[in-house]
Structure 1
Amino acid sequence: MRPLLIKALLTVTAASLLLFLYGFVAGARDVLYPQAGSSVAKPQEQAKKKAGTLQIVSLGDSLTRGVGDKEGIGYIGRVKTSLQQTYGQKAALTNLAVSGAKAPDLLKQLSDKGAQYTLKSADLIVLTIGGNDLFPDWGVMGTTDFSNYRPDTATFQKNAQAILAKIREANPKSPIFWMGLYNPFEDVQELKNTSSIVVNWNASLEQTALAYPNVYIVPVFDLFQSRGKDLLYTDHFHPNEKGYALMANRLLQNLASQLSLEEAGAKK
């Protein structure tokens, strides 16, 4: 009886050793000799992600924060809702925007390890920045001679390049949608010469984005043109609910096109 027990124990031990060695060799082979395409998800994993939740990360200033919106969701919150209701696409939103931020502030935030970690898992990145860089402080705008005003476009372009580089450092592939600027002051007599400044600013942003793949500038200037009284909040700077809704619709059109989304119930 005893020899049989010892023999059984030896057999089990030998089998366990063989399984361990097989697992070790297989693991070492995957590390030392990875198969082609081993760094990408398997087909079933890709399908699961496509059918799962779209991870949205939003960045920037008070526009992305939603200031002026009584509902407190701004354009990006409306986009999240519309993705679910219109396209049947589940979405999760992480809004890292900070009211009052300028381009250097965003650049500093992007150097934070927490922001880099959040961006790494994003399927979609949306931002607004530049409005606080373009115009001087609200308190002195009425005394600024905008016929001779020349914003520091060159510095903004350098900051924009650095912002995109930082985002791509954390997330090399996910699409980036950068919202353009509108002019909230075109109906103010003292600030009537500001529209051309905003147009040129947007053009410089579009030129900067051309150097980066999968980066899209979403124009909104035309949405607010001659409609400030209807679309702006009482501070005459931020959008109201109607203004944010228009921005959300414009962004959603771009998202649907670039991500090849189909409306829920649409024929394939």
Structure 2
Amino acid sequence: MLQKLVLFSIIGLCLTGCMNQPAAKLEYKPVSLSEKETPAEEFFPKTMKVVGIGDSLTKGVGDGAELGGYVGRVTEMLEEQDHIKDVLVENYGVKGHKTSNLQKKLTNDKVIESIKEADMVVMTIGGNDIMNVVRQNIFSLDFEPFRAEQKLYEERLRNIIITIRSYNSDAQIVFVGLYNPFKYMLPNITEIDQIIDEWNSVSKQMITEDENGIFVSVADIFSTSEVDNKLLYKDEFHPNESGYTLIAERVYDSISKAEVSLNE
């Protein structure tokens, strides 16, 4: 009987050892609950702020479709980009403004604050400066008064760019060049084409000296009197809705090319 008890005890100890052996081999492995990296800010669509300054073209005078001229159309194109959530626009374009008027406009507190917060500043200016020379010399137009005014225009435009940069060093400055609306109004004054080219050349040089400046040439869009008649408003000076659409496409194309260049 004693022998049977001893035998059962030995068997029991063996079985207990076999059952405990796998448990002894189990190891504790700590579980890491580290957070995933937050996606880069560029991953999220952003709100873009655009500020328009300058003359009646930036205001959109002549746009029969009432889409905001070239500024409104460019805004719609920008909003179609995946990385842009929406575009906020503050447009300070004023009909009749010359460079001297724009200089004063840039001292307005509301305009200053808008430019400080802007991602992009779009502008048209200079057309009324030329128009003023035409009005003052309508019966004796030659190159001299335009070139005298051009020097003053250059000084004022340089001051305008410097002022914008003093408020915002990073925003894109998009300058839409001049076109010749006088082809239809004053077809016999062919010298205006050369004057427009010279003023555009001066503007382009100053704008492109800025590393974040874009000059948009639109003179060729309105290059013949036949085209002018189809792209100008009834006042024969401002673009109509078709003219503004073509300007907007040129502006958007220039902006897109600049973005590609920066990313290369």
TM-score, with normalisation over the residues of structure 1? 0.75
Note the 1:136-175 alignment, pairs <5 A.
136=132, 142-146=138-142, 149-151=145-147, 152-175=149-172
User: What is the rounded CA distance, in whole Å, between the counterparts of 1:45 and 1:91 in structure 2?
Assistant: 22
Aligned length: 219
User: What is the rounded CA distance, in whole Å, between the counterparts of 2:238 and 2:152 in structure 1?
Assistant: 24
Answering whether residue 113 of structure 2 is matched by residue 117 of structure 1, we say yes
Note the 1:10-29 alignment, pairs <5 A.
none
Report the CA distance shift for 1:156/1:140 in structure 2 as closer, same or farther (over 3 A): closer
User: What is the rounded CA distance, in whole Å, between the counterparts of 2:138 and 2:234 in structure 1?
Assistant: 17
How many Å apart are 1:95 and its aligned residue? 0.4
The C-alpha deviation readout for 1:144-186, integer Å capped at 9, x for no partner, is: 4246553411111111111001101111111100000000112
User: What is the rounded CA distance, in whole Å, between the counterparts of 2:38 and 2:119 in structure 1?
Assistant: 18
- Contact 2:44–2:83 (Cα < 8 Å) also in 1: no
- Contact 2:45–2:83 (Cα < 8 Å) also in 1: no
Report the CA distance shift for 1:44/1:176 in structure 2 as closer, same or farther (over 3 A): farther
Instruction: Give the structure 1 partner of residue 130 of structure 2.
Output: 134
Instruction: Give the structure 2 partner of residue 100 of structure 1.
Output: 96
The answer to which of 111-120 and 184-193 deviates more is 184-193
- Contact 1:69–1:241 (Cα < 8 Å) also in 2: yes
Q: Specify which of 72, 76, 92 is matched with residue 77 of structure 1.
A: 72
Q: Which runs of 5+ in 1 are unaligned?
A: 1-42, 262-268
Instruction: Give the structure 2 partner of residue 220 of structure 1.
Output: 218
Larger gyration radius, structure 1 or structure 2: 2
Q: Specify which of 29, 41, 47 is matched with residue 41 of structure 2.
A: 47
4+ aligned runs moved over 6 Å, structure 1 = 43-46
Instruction: Give the structure 1 partner of residue 195 of structure 2.
Output: 197
User: What is the rounded CA distance, in whole Å, between the counterparts of 2:194 and 2:72 in structure 1?
Assistant: 30
How many Å apart are 1:85 and its aligned residue? 3.3
Report the CA distance shift for 1:186/1:49 in structure 2 as closer, same or farther (over 3 A): farther
Q: Which SS does the other structure have where 2:95 is aligned? A: coil
Seq. identity, % = 31
Answering whether residue 182 of structure 2 is matched by residue 185 of structure 1, we say yes
Report the CA distance shift for 1:46/1:87 in structure 2 as closer, same or farther (over 3 A): closer
Q: Which SS does the other structure have where 2:80 is aligned? A: helix
TM-score, with normalisation over the residues of structure 2? 0.76
Q: Which SS does the other structure have where 2:57 is aligned? A: helix
- Contact 1:111–1:166 (Cα < 8 Å) also in 2: no
- Root-mean-square deviation (CA), in Å? 2.4
The C-alpha deviation readout for 1:166-221, integer Å capped at 9, x for no partner, is: 10111111110000000011243343321111001100111222432211111000
User: What is the rounded CA distance, in whole Å, between the counterparts of 1:79 and 1:101 in structure 2?
Assistant: 22
User: What is the rounded CA distance, in whole Å, between the counterparts of 2:123 and 2:155 in structure 1?
Assistant: 17
User: What is the rounded CA distance, in whole Å, between the counterparts of 1:167 and 1:149 in structure 2?
Assistant: 28
User: What is the rounded CA distance, in whole Å, between the counterparts of 2:115 and 2:248 in structure 1?
Assistant: 21
User: What is the rounded CA distance, in whole Å, between the counterparts of 1:46 and 1:199 in structure 2?
Assistant: 45
Q: Which SS does the other structure have where 2:234 is aligned? A: coil
Note the 1:188-267 alignment, pairs <5 A.
188-226=186-224, 227-260=227-260
The C-alpha deviation readout for 1:13-61, integer Å capped at 9, x for no partner, is: xxxxxxxxxxxxxxxxxxxxxxxxxxxxxx9797169621111111000
